Amino acid sequence: MDIRDYEGLEKVSNYFTGASVATGLYGCFNDNIMATALGFVGVVSFMACSDYLEDKKFKIKWDDRVSRIRTSKLESQ
């Protein structure tokens, strides 16, 4: 996968995190324990997904940087 794919997935994950927050707040203010629980679980899971995608993007950037350094060192020799 390309880094742009991970950026798109991270954006979708952030939208779902926002929707989960809204669901949890709805449940809190309307005394609906299921909506509150669903919102809490959604926030935790989508934040973990976003963190995973951020790590993947960092790894791609790091690997790209290392390969450029290796290539430049080989070319300079």
pLDDT digit string (tens) for 34-52?
A: 999 999 999 999 989 988 9
Per-residue pLDDT at 20: 93
Instruction: Report yes or no on whether pTM surpasses 0.75.
Output: no
58-74 burial code (b ≥16 CB/10 A, e <16): eeeeeeeeeeeeeeeee
Residues 6+ apart with CB under 8 A from 21: 39, 43
pLDDT band, residue 24 (cuts 50/70/90): very high
